[in-house]
Amino acid sequence: TVSALDSGEEAAPERPAVMLVFRDLTEERRLEMMRADFVSNASHELRTPLASLLGFIETLQGPARGDEKARERFLDIMREQARRMARLIDDLLSLSRIEMSEHRRPETPIDLADLARQTVETMRKAAEDRGVAVAFSAPDGPLVVPGERDDLIRVVENLVENAVKYGGDGGRVEVTARRIATTTGPAAELAVRDFGPGIAPEHLPRLTERFYRVDTAASRAKGGTGLGLAIVKHIVIRHRGRLAMESKPGEGATFRAIFPLDPA
């Protein structure tokens, strides 16, 4: 039927119905390919550190046997590779847990300003050690959203971690929680701004895709799994919110998570 359409033959009366079936299959096929792609990416990401671990083990059992110096050095690398696998598995499990609970809306009233302030507090020292000052500001009074505490903490952590990791050159990160008006009503906005190199516009729309990175080697070197923003996006969607990203290359990046306020 498709080839009939392609060859420009005269339309049969049932043509629209045929087109519809064709479209549905395409959508199903697209989802199937996305799933297959995800499994293949995840396997590859796990296989890389695993191959390196196996290589070092074989070297230690073979040519480097008895070489005390090599042993210490290799064990350090092996620990780092194993940690990387553990991080990846943790992120994969988080993603799957969030996806499975996507239909259940979070309902606990949570003061987003307070939660963000506390989370930033726990991260400040580690950022300072890397030469980055993290500032926090919020209006007086609570900003209550229906939410899931641990997931909202994760949003703040992932965004601030990225700002420090990729935008740390700027020396400071600003986190702001405030009330804003949107077309769908009042909302709480959590903004994380950095003053680093920023992100070129062609990458912005793809950053929340699983395993999408602007620079894979740089992300890996900084301990990234490529899943952080995918996790953030899923959490925000489950909270009926949205994630907005802006960047001027050379001037830093701003990530905003926007959540509808608790109607009560």
Between CA 115 and CA 121, with CA 178 as vertex, the angle to 5 degrees is 35
C-alpha dihedral sign at 80, 152, 254, 256: positive
Give least dist CB 136 to ligand ADP, A.
Answer: 17
What the block records as the tokens of 206 is 């793809």
Indicate which single residue of 143, 207, 236, 243 sits in contact with ligand ADP (rule: CB under 6 A).
207
The residue from 42, 175, 191, 253 that contacts ligand ADP (CB under 6 A) is 253
Rounded to 10 deg, the angle between the 68-100 and 15-61 helix axes is 160
Phi, psi (deg, nearest 5) at residue 194: -125, 170
Three-point CA angle 161, 233, 237, nearest 5°: 140
Looking at beta carbons only, is 150 or 215 nearer to ligand ADP?
215
Considering beta carbons, is residue 162 or 176 the nearer one to ligand ADP? 162
214 forms part of the interface with ligand ADP (CB under 6 A): yes
Q: How many residues bind ligand ADP (CB under 6 A)?
A: 20
Q: How far is the CB of 80 from ligand ADP (least distance, A)?
A: 15
- Is position 136 an interface residue for ligand ADP (rule: CB under 6 A)? no
Decide if residue 24 touches ligand ADP (CB under 6 A).
no
Q: In the window 139-178, what residues touch ligand ADP (CB under 6 A)?
A: 162-163, 166-167
Smallest gap from Cβ 49 to ligand ADP, in A, equals: 14
- Using the minimum distance from each CB to ligand ADP, give the nearer residue, 148 or 194: 194
Q: In the bound complex, what is the minimum distance in angstroms from residue 217's beta carbon to ligand ADP?
A: 10
Region of residue 66 (phi > 0: left; psi between -120 and 50: alpha; otherwise: beta): left
Give me the residue label for tokens 């641990």. 150
Residue 73 CB, nearest distance to ligand ADP (Å)?
Answer: 26
Nearer to ligand ADP, 146 or 226 (CB): 226
Q: Minimum distance between the CB of residue 132 and ligand ADP, rounded to whole angstroms?
A: 11
Give yes or no for residue 94 binding ligand ADP (CB under 6 A).
Answer: no
**CB closer to ligand ADP out of 134 and 229:** 229
**From the CB of 229, what's the least distance to ligand ADP, in Å?**
3
The residue to which tokens 């990046």 are assigned: 253
Select the residue interacting with ligand ADP from 92, 177, 229, 261 (CB under 6 A). 229
Would you say the C-alpha torsion 91, 97, 102, 108 has a positive or negative sign? negative
Name the residues that contact ligand ADP, by CB under 6 A: 162-163, 166-167, 194, 196, 199, 207, 213-215, 219, 224-230, 253
